[in-house]
Structure 1
Amino acid sequence: MASKLKPFINLRRYTAASPLNQNRSLSSNPSSRTLSTLEKSNYRKQILLANLLQRYGFPPSSLQHFLSKNTFLSNSDLSDTEASLSILLSLKLPQKQLVSLIHDCPNVLRPEFLRKWKSPVSESVPPSAIKSVLEHSSRFGINPDKFHQCNKVLKGLGFCDSTVSKVLEAFPNVLVMNEIDIRRKVEFLVSIDIPLDSIERFFHVFPEILGISTETRLKPLLDEFIKLGFSKDEIKREIFREPRVLGLELGELPRCLELIKTLKCREVIKDEILKEGLFRAGFEVKLRVDCLCKHGLIRRDAFKIVWKEPRVVLYEVDEIEKKIDFLTNRMGFHVNCLADVPEFLGVNLQKQIVPRYNVVDYLRLKGGLGCDIGLKGLIRPSMKRFYNLYVKPYPECERIFGKRREDARVRKRHPAGLWKLMKPPSHVTTEEDVVNMKSFVESLA
């Protein structure tokens, strides 16, 4: 009998705890009504805050996550937040930088922080460096006095406003450095025979040197260059030409040089890579590897790609970034596909990659492809084979793909009329030659 009554007992418990009964109990309790009103008020405040941030360009897709992480914005006065946004807008920050600053460092919206920094930033910091100065100062609690002191030290070294701005933008940690450490970097550059009139250019191009230790990084790096067989004059010339050479990690250049020595490519490509010397070639490899790693590849795969496709070294870094952007954003492939098809980075973007992709994308939309074509099928076929497979059977693809190189008009190698100058002089026939010719013919008869 007890087992039969058990389901009814559970049902009564569920009914007692049902939302309808809870609502009735809340409506009868004054304190619960107050709690409900507060929840509605907070919800309304969050909606107003979200609308305010959207007005200043904040993307709606990330608003919920942003507000849930930064509850101090919901607890603060909405008018204070709007005033902080107005101050940031008055600093003439581009909208993209403004949104990035708020997203990465929301503490800049605290009114007490901006009240201290509004005047120093608007008077002394150019717009390009405002984001890095405010973000760094907010995270590490740096006061404007420290900023003025740092600005005075840099100006005391003879740096112009553009160089000071570049240092603050690229290496904002200079705000917490003392004057002695900054001057030690200048002394190091003088010790390796960098002319005094080129010191400012050096910091303008590579301000990150301020954060590199002289004893544990810079001096051992110079010793490593010498052990690799480079002379002091060659090292000095390369550092003066490209200050970022001093940003190399210990052991990084030897690995790049080893890759160059083991390249298996045409001699023409290898000669082009080495035309400015082995040191410069190794540094160019380092720049390409860093570019690939910046876009999500691990270092081992980046070296593997450069080794398999040495033509990557002949392309500028911005061209490589354009190809990777086209691969990921337009074609929809992951950057890891480059490890299997490194040839993608070795061909021309506008002349080969874009026309082929446009043809394949058109055929895919029209249903003209029997199967999906991967990155290998798009890049590895020769121009003639790709044309015969995907362009020739479809006349409408001729316009998309463009004229084949074989059908293009052959460009003249020499200027017009040059053949007249190179034509040998004609032989002038004399009367004696005519008589001799007649006598020869008669003898034959």
Structure 2
Amino acid sequence: MSVRGLSELCWSVGVFSQKPNVGVVFKLNSWIFLEGHCKHVVPNIGLLRESGVPQPCISFLLTRGTRVLMVNPEKCGQLVSEVKEMGFNLEKSTSVNALCALCGKNKLVLNRSREVLKTWGWSEDDFPSAFRKYPHCMVVSEKKLMQIMDLLVNKMGWSSGMIAKYPVALGVSLERRLIPRCSVVKVLLFKGFINENLNLGSLLKPTEKQFLEIFVNRYLGQVPELLSVYQGKVDIQDV
């Protein structure tokens, strides 16, 4: 199939609302429209549209979640039904993330993640609640899950249930986000500048600029090394 033919095909099923999206798909994943795959992709796009999945979400699948579109249409229908039964609104982007998490090898990772988190005290109610909030939290490697839970539970003192309420903690970068922020909070807690009842959301929600303003800059007068702690240049023990 030619590039022009692929473009006409995409427009015919109403996938794109903006022309630039066509070029992105062709650049990244034009192979999914080869004859051997097209028999699944096009019917699945139609199924998703009939189910109420909006165009931007389908475009996302074409560029970042092709595994969902590659399954046979019957399996795709089952995935859509499963996501709906779990309480997802198919008009929201989180439903697309849920489809990706439940598809193929990700489903195996998801099941393994459940077993790991059980060992940290997650209840059966915690899993669906966390998954609905942030589906990606359940398709994280076992190694990363263990590292994050060890940091937040053993080193920071947050309960396992608290982490289930803020599952985005399981998906962010350990090195670039969690460790720097936890190190700063640990210092401030030790010195008594912030309340020990600080919840995990207060650590995760701020942008980097906001975090620096709230937890670093305002305390530099009392703790000059705090920025260096955040940057990983100074150990907590040396402050």
Normalized against structure 2, the TM-score is what? 0.61
Measured on the aligned residues, the alpha-carbon RMSD in Å equals: 4.2
The 8 Å contact of residues 25 and 63 in structure 2, kept in 1 or not, is answered as yes
Paired with 1:206 and 1:132, the residues of 2 have a C-alpha distance of 23
Aligned-partner residue type, residue 174 of structure 2: V
| CA-CA distance at 1:282 after TM superposition | 6.2
1:44-75 deviation line (CA, Å, top 9, x unaligned): xxxxxxxxxxxxxxxxxxxxxxxxxxxxxxxx
1:186-209 deviation line (CA, Å, top 9, x unaligned): 45546xx613x6355442354532
Q: Secondary structure at the match of 2:2?
A: helix
Paired with 1:129 and 1:172, the residues of 2 have a C-alpha distance of 15
Name the counterpart of 1:314: 203
Name the counterpart of 2:212: 347
Q: How many residues align?
A: 203
Paired with 1:214 and 1:205, the residues of 2 have a C-alpha distance of 11
Paired with 2:51 and 2:115, the residues of 1 have a C-alpha distance of 28
The 8 Å contact of residues 6 and 33 in structure 2, kept in 1 or not, is answered as no
Paired with 1:238 and 1:248, the residues of 2 have a C-alpha distance of 13
Q: Secondary structure at the match of 1:229?
A: coil
Name the counterpart of 1:181: 75
The 8 Å contact of residues 170 and 207 in structure 1, kept in 2 or not, is answered as no
| CA-CA distance at 1:259 after TM superposition | 0.5
The 8 Å contact of residues 238 and 280 in structure 1, kept in 2 or not, is answered as yes
Q: Secondary structure at the match of 1:287?
A: coil
Query: Relative CO higher for 1 or 2, CA cutoff 8 Å, sep ≥ 6?
Result: 2
Q: Secondary structure at the match of 2:155?
A: coil
Name the counterpart of 2:193: none
Q: Secondary structure at the match of 2:142?
A: coil
Name the counterpart of 2:192: none
Paired with 1:183 and 1:235, the residues of 2 have a C-alpha distance of 23
| CA-CA distance at 1:377 after TM superposition | 8.2
Q: What are the ranges of 5 or more consecutive residues in structure 2 without an aligned counterpart?
A: 187-199, 219-223, 229-239
Q: Secondary structure at the match of 1:257?
A: helix
The 8 Å contact of residues 257 and 282 in structure 1, kept in 2 or not, is answered as no
Name the counterpart of 1:287: 172
Question: CA, structure 1 residues 113+377, in 2 after alignment: closer, same or farther (shift >3 Å)?
Answer: farther
| CA-CA distance at 1:182 after TM superposition | 2.0
Aligned-partner residue type, residue 162 of structure 2: G
1:366-404 deviation line (CA, Å, top 9, x unaligned): xxxxxxxxxx98945xxxxxxxxxxxxxxxxxxxxxxxx
Taking the TM superposition and a 5 Å limit, the aligned residue runs for 1:90-169 are: 113-123=2-12, 124-126=14-16, 127=18, 129-139=21-31, 142-143=34-35, 145-146=38-39, 147-169=41-63
Name the counterpart of 1:42: none
Paired with 1:233 and 1:131, the residues of 2 have a C-alpha distance of 43
Aligned-partner residue type, residue 61 of structure 2: V
| In the alignment, structure 1 residue 224 sits paired with structure 2 residue 116 | yes
What percent identity do the matched residue pairs reach? 12
Aligned-partner residue type, residue 151 of structure 1: I
Name the counterpart of 2:95: 203
Q: Secondary structure at the match of 2:89?
A: helix
Aligned-partner residue type, residue 213 of structure 2: N
The 8 Å contact of residues 289 and 306 in structure 1, kept in 2 or not, is answered as no
Q: What are the ranges of 5 or more consecutive residues in structure 1 without an aligned counterpart?
A: 1-111, 265-269, 293-301, 324-344, 354-375, 381-445
Q: Secondary structure at the match of 1:125?
A: coil
The 8 Å contact of residues 79 and 103 in structure 2, kept in 1 or not, is answered as no
Name the counterpart of 2:191: none
Question: CA, structure 1 residues 215+119, in 2 after alignment: closer, same or farther (shift >3 Å)?
Answer: closer
The 8 Å contact of residues 113 and 138 in structure 1, kept in 2 or not, is answered as no
| In the alignment, structure 1 residue 305 sits paired with structure 2 residue 199 | no
1:195-241 deviation line (CA, Å, top 9, x unaligned): 3x635544235453254436522223223333322221222222222
Paired with 1:252 and 1:188, the residues of 2 have a C-alpha distance of 27
Paired with 1:245 and 1:138, the residues of 2 have a C-alpha distance of 29
| CA-CA distance at 1:242 after TM superposition | 2.4
Taking the TM superposition and a 5 Å limit, the aligned residue runs for 1:339-418 are: 347-348=212-213, 352=217, 379=227
Paired with 1:255 and 1:216, the residues of 2 have a C-alpha distance of 20
